[in-house]
Amino acid sequence: MNPPARTPTAPGPAPFLDSKESLACIHCGLCLSSCPTYLETGNENDSPRGRIYLMRAIQDGRMPLAETAVHHIDLCLGCRACETACPSGVKYGNLLEATRDHIEGHYQRPLAQRLLRQGAIEQIFPFGERMELALLPARLAQATGLARFLPKFARDSLALIPEKFSSARWLEVSPATGGTRRGAVAFVRGCVMNVMFGPTHLATVRLLNRAGYDVVTPPDQGCCGALYAHGGNLAAARESARKNIAVFEEREVEAIIINAAGCGSTLKEYGHLLAGDPLWAARAQRFSAKVRDLSEWLATSGLATHLAPTQFASPVTFHDACHLAHPQKITQQPRALVKAVAGSRFVELPEAEICCGSAGSYNLTEPEMAGRLGSRKTGNILQTGAKTVVTTNPGCILQMQAGLREAGVKDVEVLHLADFLDRHCHY
């Protein structure tokens, strides 16, 4: 399924922001120290409260929908750290997605931006087979050295591709192994995860099986819609949501498990995404109520009793994937699982909650700021002395691996939580 085509039209008077949500910001500034782009630029327009002012000014007609305003909105990572810091409970993520949807519907981007956003990101990334095909010439360019002749933005994009990756092939049902069977869960494959992190998916299924769960992986599931929602195509995001709800609600399972933080936050917010659709609103709420991040589920499944405490020669640290820590409010569960293995060798990562610069497709659309944040993250990793960095999102892994390679660091491994636990689990 291709996302609906969009042709920008002149801005109209219809409001695109929820008035209650947009007026909830009291401009106290407590969000400023949590905002990665504000920390980098010091520009009020690159802060959450500054962007909310811009959003309201655009809606009210006090500011034209022009390049300057769009730039500041584009520069937002959508990490939603401001939501964690906000004492007023501003739902900044909702405001941002509504604004970006308005921008893409009414603002004419330059051709290069349209090709990247509507061509590569919307037409390739959500489709596994297309992504696999697109990666073939990319790997060829890397292997032959042709990459050095490409434009800088293309070289930056190629630098994110890991040296080794493989996709996963599936059994629709993988039965529980050993011990007591606890029940059945469904598994969301995702897009990038399924193409580039196949072994991580297989590790995820093994862990769930070891914890006593049959794992059901519906073959006809599709993209969760996160890339569409974050990029300003809410119509395509809603269509993705409807498809997945219809597929997963046919399965009798206790939970729907996801091992990618960015996808998980979108899946848990299908209720909001389809709140205005009377045919799907209740179904969306029921679906989202079942969604659990892998760490969230494993932390209460008894898996810790099957993990082998290990004496690491060097420290182990953990990076908070933004969409796990902020929209989902999950920070302690993955740490508890890592500590069950690493014990006293676990060390906290400075600024663990600050975005690494990946942010979905952000490191493709805003490579300069993504690079600055990636360098900041690399510096914090090196400060810990850790040789193992654990996290819960594919984009974070690719971004941190690329940052370490750029810095010439070869002895630090960045792992998904599932791979880390799988290495140290008694099977």
CA dihedral 392, 398, 403, 406 (to 10 degrees): 150
The tokens describing 377, both together, are 């993250």
Confidence category of residue 129, pLDDT binned at 50, 70, 90: confident
- State how far the Cα of 189 lies from the Cα of 201, in Å rounded to an integer: 7
> What percent of the chain shows pLDDT beyond 70?
89
112 phi, psi to nearest 5 deg: -60, -40
Residue 152: its pLDDT value, please?
Answer: 63
HSE (side-chain half, CA atoms, 13 Å) at 88: 17
Q: Which CATH number is correct for 19-106, 3.20.20.140, 3.40.50.2300, 1.10.1060.10, 3.20.20.100?
A: 1.10.1060.10
> Residue 308: its pLDDT value, please?
86
The whole-number pLDDT of residue 69 equals 95
Instruction: Give the model confidence (pLDDT) of 222-269 as tens digits.
Output: 999 999 999 999 999 999 999 999 999 999 999 999 999 999 999 999
330: tokens are: 């999950």
Which residue(s) pair with 425 in the sheet? Answer: 307
Q: Supply the pLDDT for residue 116.
A: 83
Cβ atoms of 250 and 186 closer than 8 Å: no
Mean pLDDT for 279-290 is 98
168: pLDDT strictly greater than 90: no
Report the b/e string of 28-59 with b at 16+ CB within 10 A: eeebbebbbbbbebeeebbbbbbbbbbbbebb
In the structure, what pLDDT confidence band is assigned to residue 211 with cuts at 50, 70 and 90? Answer: very high
The CATH class for the domain spanning 173-298 reads: mainly alpha
Residues with Cβ within 8 Å of 419's Cβ and at least 6 positions away in sequence, in order, are 199, 200, 203
User: In this model, does residue 78 exceed pLDDT 90?
Assistant: yes
Q: How confident is the model at residue 12 (pLDDT cuts 50, 70, 90)?
A: low
Band of residue 7 on the pLDDT scale cut at 50, 70, 90: low
Q: Per-residue pLDDT for 3 more than 80?
A: no
pLDDT of residue 182: 92
Domain covering 307-423 assigned CATH 3.30.1690 in the classification: no
Q: Going along 121-247, which residue ranges are E strands?
A: 173-174, 183-187, 213-216
Task: Name residue 72's amino acid.
Answer: H
pLDDT in tens, 326-343: 999 999 999 999 999 999
Q: Is 269 left (phi over 0), alpha (psi -120 to 50) or beta?
A: alpha
Q: How confident is the model at residue 167 (pLDDT cuts 50, 70, 90)?
A: low
Q: How confident is the model at residue 5 (pLDDT cuts 50, 70, 90)?
A: low
pLDDT of residue 1: 56
* Length, in residues, of the chain: 427
Token pair in block for residue 177: 């192994």
- Domain boundary assignment for the chain: 19-106, 111-158, 173-298, 307-423
- pLDDT band for 201, please (50, 70, 90 cuts): very high
pLDDT above 90 for 381: yes
pLDDT at residue 393 greater than cutoff 90: yes
Q: Is the sign of the CA dihedral 337, 343, 349, 353 positive or negative?
A: positive
Q: What angle do CA 329, 382, 37 make, to 5 degrees?
A: 50
Q: Which residue has the tokens 């906000």?
A: 86
* Plot region of 40 (φ>0 → left; ψ -120 to 50 → alpha; else → beta): alpha
Give 165's pLDDT tier (boundaries 50, 70, 90): low
| CB-neighbour burial class of residue 232 (10 A; exposed 0-12, middle 13-18, buried 19+) | buried
pLDDT category of residue 8 using cuts at 50, 70 and 90: low
Lowest mean pLDDT among 22-31, 322-331, 335-344: 22-31
Rounded distance between C-alpha atoms, residue 379 and residue 387, angstroms = 13
pLDDT of residue 297: 97
